[in-house]
Structure formats: structure tokens, C-alpha cells
Amino acid sequence: MTDSNDDKTISVAGKKTLTLKPSGMSQGTVRQDMGRGRTKAVVVETRKRRPMRPEDEKPITPVAPAAPVRAAEPAPAPVVQARPQQPTPAPRVQQGNNNQTNQRPPQQSHQPPRQNDRPRPVVLNHLSPEEMDARRRALADSQARDAQDAIRRAEEEKRRAAEEVVRKAAEAEEAARRAAEEAIRQAEAPAVAEPAVAEPAPTEARSDAPRPPQPASPAPAARRPDAAGAPAARPAPGAAVPGAVRGRREEKEDDDRGAARGGPVRGRVVRPEPAKPVTTRPKTDEERRRGKLTITTANVDGEDNARGRSLSAMRRRQEKFRRGQMQETREKISREVVLPETITIQELSQRMSERAVDVIKYLMKEGQMMKPGDVIDADLAELIAGEFGHTVRRVSESDVELGIFNVSDDDGELVSRPPVVTIMGHVDHGKTSLLDAIRHANVVSGEAGGITQHIGAYQVEQNGQKITFIDTPGHAAFTAMRARGAQATDIAILVVAADDSVMPQTIESINHAKAAGVPIIVAINKVDKHEADPQKVRNQLLQHEVFVESMGGEVLDVEVSAKTGKNLDKLLEAILLQAEILDLKANANRTAEGTVIEAQLDRGRGSVATVLVQKGTLRPGQIIVAGDVWGRVRALVTDKGDHVKEAGPATPVEVLGLSGTPQAGDKFAVVESESRAREISEYRQRLARDKAAARQSGQRGSLEQMMMQRQSVGIKEFPLVIKGDVQGSIEAIAGALEKLGTDEVRARIVHSGAGGITESDISLAEASNAAIIGFNVRANTQARQFAEREGIEIRYYNIIYDLVDDVKAAMSGLLSPERRETFIGNAEILEVFNITKVGKVAGCRVVEGKVERGAGVRLIRNDVVVHEGKLKTLKRFKDEVSEVPMGQECGMAFENYEDMRAGDVIECFRVEHITRTL
């Protein structure tokens, strides 16, 4: 500070931002030539090199800070002389205004002068009284602030001590709680050991208690007085008071900043802090993670300055450790894995209770890169399950049907059941009339054309015993119906007309009965006619290995008459006798199982299936599966139209409530739930689609099949849409139409189904250019109007004869006419003439038959046909004639051919096209 400064007030300023100015640097500007007469002013800095001096390498002696001044002293504190902290002599400080600022005159007057001091050429600037007062006020303010800071620090120390006591109590309580939990955990799982060996709880409690601070090792620097208030050291005479005040202020600022600064500050001495209480042993990793995280606990742990784990990491570690304990105690569980034919990796891992990632890793080790959604076969799945220690039970898709068919019954629960009798034979031999006579009904009058075209099931009672009859059609088209009737029966009645003897369908019925392994009872019908010859029938049956009792065999035969009712009682007695021999029994106390005899789609009742219960008892409300359809039984209707509550073994009933129309001959069974029924139905539908696709792919599989398909490309097709009343009739019609096909034309059934003709059928017929055939069904009004607009033909039939004949005639129209040649005559070429404007003309003689103009001719040379064509001209001398008889000569010329030679033979023929029929 100089005397020219007007501001005489001196105050201790607070923190200021320190800036460094470059020393030994000068700036100047020069003009830089930019070319083409242009210049630019550039600032140039010149930096001077600072020479190194020997005294710069000397260590800097730190200045000892002064003791804090007591707040109670009214007067300024006595000047404290700083003691040297190192034996090395401190460098001399030039005395100036600052060195003489706080010196007191009384002390200067009583200080004896030194003898050895020589006068120095130093000019002393004495302070004015105003400056002295300003400095005294600044010193007093600094001392007051120091006193306030001391009080504040004391209060802060008390607050920290109270918090430390509370924290220690909380830590002790937490340690006791953890010890109790650890004891419980060890009691539950004694086999699990802690990751680190923990000491007893009392020791841990003692380790948390504070210990008395240990004295730090003596340092060469001066120590700060302790907190007990030791008396401050007196300063030596001649010490600089402002330097002491400044030292105390800097020491206060260092104390406020705390121990965050590592290492001593240049020119200052860092006072050693009192030793922190430490534990007697390092805490385990688990204790450190679960304990309360504070600055003190973070510093006293084994990792003093390391960054601790976060709370989330600590929870994850605890969860991982707990999971590891559970996995250690849990043993590997071997499961039985059910493997279908194909399975995805994700589903396989779920069935094994393994992670899909582990399965993927195993497959990667085996060299297969797969995803969890990839499908693998049963062999690879079995290999994977075995690798993971599980057993395997392989199943196929067909296993869904296990347990619903062919279930064995206990012999103790079997009871007698009525026999099932099938009436078989040739058409018009009186099968239905015989059954009507037995039932006292008139079914024949209801059949179109007087022939049976449906399979029917009836039940009659004779002498208190019930007999179930199944009537089958006798027409050749109903072969499948007869086969189904033979398979579902116990006894077959072979009806043969005495006036017609054995016919083709009679032989077919015999073969069906033998294939089914059922006994045969021969009923020789129409014995009331005059031309009846029962003995002839018996003799003809011998040719087909049917030996009746009258001929020394075991087959029962009865001469009956459906018209007069002759010997009907004997026929029924023969049936009951045969049933008694067979000892027919069934279990009625089980789920129902049987066969679908017939199925149809009724407008008011929906899908109706005529079934024959063979085992168990069928009741309304049960869920059944029949073929690829399923449903809940809504009602059971007998052949007389009565609703019944149950249907026992060997009882034919109509079932209502199916989701679709099953195929005749399908097996049906009762299942426990809709899900099981839906699963079986979907499997059967999928199986049917696969078979159809296999048939299509098989047709174009091998080279031979491809050649056959190529040959069949030229085959003409007659598309049809067939709708019938029952499924069996549709099947019979399809079989009959299939037999009409030839190598040139065949019937292609675009769609077939049971039920009336609808608009969708008309649309399908329009798209495929097909004809619609309705058998015992009609089209509704909308379908009929739609067909009239689109020009689609609908034909209705109720007799299968007429249907087959009409389709046969329509298919015959698609046949190409037959080309037939008629030989006319031969002529021998005698000479060949070349005529202008005509060409070559052959002079011939007719040697056989005659030659006609316009007929077809062949030129034969050496018995080889060299040309075939037509005659262009036929002349007798110079006149054109229509024909030349045998023995005469004529001239002939061919169309577009002139290579004729003498000795060739000309064959003349006529071509005719004849319409063919199937």
C-alpha cells in the first residue's frame, strides 16, 4: 500500500479467484506482407527465458501457524513468535511496511539492540496513526470471527458426537437382528456354510464400540494444541504479528475444508486428525452389504477409499446367494418327458423344466444352430432329454384315440344282449317284405320303385326276447352297405327267391358274411309261387360252399313266404336258437361304443346319425365322437319315432346333435370332455387331408405314374355335383358312377353331401361347369331361381337305376364316334401317264370289287402302304365316272401325290363314323 492511496480502510477479504499472469512476456505488433501489396497487423508475443538460480532449489520452510486467540481477551492478543520447524535457517525477509505494521512501540523501546548488527541500507516507512487504527480494527474483527468459528465448531462436534451415539446404537441393534436371523438360517440349513467365517455376536458388538484414540506418531512439523485448551506458546520478541494472523486465518480455512485434500499444502503444516475408532476385525462381505452405509462405515471397512456397491447390486448379490443356496440343497429331478412325433425346442424345454437357453447351448455344442421356435423330430428330442437326465415316453398322433375303442370288459359285468341280424340277398328277392311281415309294418310301400335304397335298423320282440334287424339294399351299387351290415351283425339271413335261385348279389352277400365270420341262416322266400323250386336253390348254394342241414350241412334253412306269413315263427326261432348258441353278452355299465349305420342331414333336425350301440349305454347329454365329427347327444330316437332316455347294447337309435354328418360305417364312442373330442376330431380330419394330399402327390410321383397321368390327359370328364338324402346313398351313387368310366371318359364328382341343394351348390356347379343331381332331395326356392338365372341344370331322382342310366347316356355323348372302314376294291397300276395340266395319271385295271370316286385310297408297293389319301379323278376313257366295276380299266389320279409306279396296287375303302355308347 502507498501513501497516495485514498482508501485507508484495511479488511480481511474473503475467497477470491486467483489468476496467473504470464511473467517475462512482452507483446508487440508487426505488419505482415500478404502479397500483391496487402499487409496485415499481427500481434507478436516475446517470451523471456528465466534463468535458474541456486536459491530456487532450496526447500521452502513452512511457517508454523499461530495459536487461536481467546475470544474473552478485550485487547489484541500478544504477538506469537513462530518457531522454526526445521533446523535449516529461514531466508531473510526484507523489512518493509508490512513487517513494521503491527509492532508495538513499548516493545521496541525495551528491546536491546544487537551488538553484531551492522547498519543496513534499508529505508523504513513509518505508518500513520490512521493506518495503525485501521489495522487494529481489522485484527479485532478477525479475532471476533475466529471466536465465532470456534463456537460453531464446538457445536458441530457435539452434534456429530450425538449422531455417532445414535448410529452406534442402531448398528448394534441391526447386528443383533442379523445374528438372530443367521442363527435361524443355520438351524434350518446346517449343511450350508457362510462364504466367510463369522465371529460370535458379542465380539462383533464389541468391535462396533468406539475405542480411545491412539496418539499419532510425532511429525517434524509443529503440532496444533489439543482440544482440551492447552496454553498457547508465547511469541518470541520481534516476531511478525500480521504473519501470525494470516497463518491463523489460513489454518481456519484449511480446517473448514476438511481432510478432503490429500497431502500437505505448500508452505503450511497439516495437523493430524484424531484417530477414528476402528473395528477389531474386518466385516464379512455379507455384513458389509447388509449394514447401513455411512461415511464412517465406508472408511473403516476393508476397502477404505474404494467405491461401494449400489443398493441394487447388493440386492442382486443377496438374491444370487440365496438362489445358490437353494440350488445347492435341491437335487436334480428326473422327469418323464412325453415326446410326440414333432416338438418345438421351447415346448421340449418346458416339459423338461429346463431353460431353453441351455438346450440351445447343447445343440450349438453339437453343431446345430437352432432357435427356440424350431421344430425337431422325436429322435433328436429324445437325445436332448437323455442328455439332461430325463426319461422319455414317445407317443404318436394316433395315441389320442387310445382308450376309447376296444376296451376290455370284466367278465363279471357281462349280461345277455339281443342278437343283431342282417338281412342280405339279391334285389327283388323279398328282403324288405320279409322284414315288414316280421315287424307287421309296410316299409316297401315307402321305398321308391319298390326297392330298398337305404340301410335301416329295426328292433322286434319275439317271445319276450328282442331281436335287432338291419335291412341292407340288394342293388349292385350298395356293396359297401352290405359289407357294413355284415361287419356290424351277429347273424346273417340270406334271402333267396325260390323262383329266381342264386343271383350275383346273393353270391356277394355270401362272401361278405364269410369275410365277417358270422353264421348264415338261409331263408328261401316266395315258396307260395307255382314256379318255386326250393331244392334248386339248395343245390346252387352247394356250389358256393353253403351246406344247409337238409343237405348234410350245418347251415339252417327255412322255407318262408313274406306274402302269406308262412313259417315266419320258425325263422325267428332259428334266429334265437343261433343266438343262444353264440351266447351273446355285453357290458351295459360302461361308456357307449358302436357303429354308424347311416347318416343324413335333415332340414329341421340337423345332422342325424343312425347308430347301433354295441357296448355300454348311450344317454342324452354325453359327448360322442363319430369319425371326424363330434357332438353332444341332444336326443335319442327309436325306429318308431319314440324318444328314449338311454340305449343299451344291440339297440339301434337315431342320434341328434352331431357337428357334422359322419360317414356310414364309422365307429363312434363316448369321451369324457369336449377338448378330448375336439382333439380326436381334428386328428382324424388332418389324417384325411394328408391321405388326400398323398394321393395327389403320389399320382405325380414316379416316372410310371407320370406317364399314366400323361396318357389320362386326353380323358374327357363329366363333372357332377351330387346331393342325397343319406350318406350311404351318396356313397352308392359315387361307386356306381365310378364304374361307368372308361379310358376316354369318366365321371368326376366335384362335390357330394347329404342334404338339400343350396345356393352354394349352384355356385360351385357354375364355376366347374357341372350338372347337379339330387337323389331324394330338392332345391330350395333361392337355389332354384339362381340355377334358372345361370342356366344350371338340376336333375332329380329317387331310383338309382334311372340316375345311373341317365348319367351313362350323358357320358356316352362325350365319347368320340367310332371310325369304321369298309373295303370297296383293289386296282392294279398297268402304266403311268404324264398329262399336261393334270399331272401323272395311273392306268389301272380293277381286279377286286369296285372303285368309287371320292373314296379313300391307299397306294401299296411291295405290300407296304406308301400313301393314303383320296382320288382326285376317275375316268373311263375320256369320261368322268363315279365308279368302275371289277375287270374294267380306268385312269386314276391322287390328290397332291404323283409318285406312282407300274405294278403298285391301289386299295379303295369307305370310312364310316358310328356313335358309341358306354
Per-residue model confidence as pLDDT tens digits over 831-863: 988 887 778 888 999 999 898 888 888 999 988
Residue at grid coordinates 516475446? 46
Strand pairing class (520-525; 491-497) = parallel
Per-residue model confidence as pLDDT tens digits over 126-167: 678 888 888 889 999 999 999 999 999 999 999 999 999 999
Spell out the residues 6+ positions from residue 279 whose beta carbon is closer than 8 angstroms to its own. Answer: 207, 208, 300
Q: What is the pLDDT of residue 233?
A: 40
Highest-scoring range by mean pLDDT, 59-68, 585-594, 692-701:
585-594
Q: What is the pLDDT of residue 126?
A: 67
Which CATH code is given to the segment(s) 714-812? 3.40.50.10050
Is pLDDT larger for residue 501 or for residue 206? Answer: 501
Spell out the residues 6+ positions from residue 653 whose beta carbon is closer than 8 angstroms to its own. Answer: 610, 611, 613, 618, 636, 637, 638, 644, 647
Is pLDDT larger for residue 894 or for residue 196? Answer: 894
* Long-range contacts of the stretch 208-213 (C-beta < 8 A, 24+): 208/168, 208/171, 208/172, 208/175, 208/279, 209/168, 209/277, 210/164, 210/168, 210/277, 211/277, 211/278, 213/274, 213/275, 213/276, 213/277
Residue 277 assigned to a binding site:
no
Per-residue pLDDT, averaged over 562-584, amounts to: 86
**CATH class entry, domain 818-914:** mainly beta
Which CATH code is given to the segment(s) 593-694? 2.40.30.10
Report how far residue 511's alpha carbon sits from residue 123's, in angstroms, rounded to the nearest whole number: 153
Per-residue model confidence as pLDDT tens digits over 495-550: 898 888 788 888 888 888 887 788 889 998 888 888 888 888 888 888 888 888 88
- Of all residues in the chain, the percent with pLDDT exceeding 70 is 69
Residue 667 assigned to a binding site:
no
Residue 527 assigned to a binding site:
yes
Amino acid at 62: P
Report how far residue 644's alpha carbon sits from residue 890's, in angstroms, rounded to the nearest whole number: 94
C-alpha cell at 663: 360317414
pLDDT at residue 175 greater than cutoff 60: yes
* Res. 622 pLDDT band, cuts 50 70 90: very high
Residue 431 assigned to a binding site:
yes
Within the chain, which residue ranges are assigned CATH 3.40.50.300?
420-583
Report how far residue 579's alpha carbon sits from residue 417's, in angstroms, rounded to the nearest whole number: 10
The DSSP output letter for 744 is S
Mean pLDDT of the chain: 74
Residue 472 assigned to a binding site:
yes
**Intra-chain end-to-end CA distance of the chain, in Å:** 140
Is pLDDT larger for residue 26 or for residue 767? Answer: 767
For the entire predicted model, the pTM comes to 0.47
Residue 190 assigned to a binding site:
no
CB atoms within 10 A of CB 363: 19
pLDDT at residue 61 greater than cutoff 70: no
pLDDT at residue 345 greater than cutoff 80: yes
* Res. 85 pLDDT band, cuts 50 70 90: very low
The answer to whether residues 76 and 139 touch, using CB atoms and an 8 Å cutoff, is: yes
Residue 432 assigned to a binding site:
yes
Per-residue pLDDT, averaged over 903-916, amounts to: 85
Residue 838 assigned to a binding site:
no
Amino acid at 893: A
pLDDT at residue 340 greater than cutoff 90: no
Q: What is the pLDDT of residue 98?
A: 42
Strand pairing class (879-880; 851-852) = unpaired
pLDDT at residue 736 greater than cutoff 60: yes
Residue 428 assigned to a binding site:
yes
Residue 517 assigned to a binding site:
no
CA 316 to chain CA mean position, Å: 33
Within the chain, which residue ranges are assigned CATH 2.40.30.10?
593-694, 818-914
- Distinct helix (H) and strand (E) counts, the chain: 21, 33
Per-residue pLDDT, averaged over 302-308, amounts to: 51
User: What pairs with residue 73 in β-bridges?
Assistant: none
Per-residue model confidence as pLDDT tens digits over 218-237: 433 434 434 334 334 444 44
Per-residue model confidence as pLDDT tens digits over 864-874: 989 988 888 88
Q: What is the pLDDT of residue 632?
A: 92
Residue 425 assigned to a binding site:
yes
Q: What is the pLDDT of residue 327?
A: 57
CATH entry 1.10.10 includes domain 336-395? yes
Residue 776 assigned to a binding site:
no
* Res. 107 pLDDT band, cuts 50 70 90: very low
Per-residue model confidence as pLDDT tens digits over 181-196: 888 888 876 554 444 4
pLDDT at residue 625 greater than cutoff 90: yes
Residue 879 assigned to a binding site:
no
Residue 391 assigned to a binding site:
no
Residue 911 assigned to a binding site:
no
* Res. 290 pLDDT band, cuts 50 70 90: low
Per-residue model confidence as pLDDT tens digits over 353-397: 999 999 999 999 988 888 888 888 888 899 999 999 899 988 877
pLDDT at residue 750 greater than cutoff 60: yes
Residue at grid coordinates 521452502? 60
Highest-scoring range by mean pLDDT, 100-114, 707-721, 869-883:
869-883
Measured CA distances, 647 to 414, 589, 616 (Å): 16, 12, 9
Report how far residue 795's alpha carbon sits from residue 711's, in angstroms, rounded to the nearest whole number: 32
CATH entry 3.40.366.10 includes domain 420-583? no
Spell out the residues 6+ positions from residue 695 whose beta carbon is closer than 8 angstroms to its own. Answer: none
- 380-394, 397-411, 657-671, 883-897: least confident range: 397-411
* Res. 619 pLDDT band, cuts 50 70 90: very high
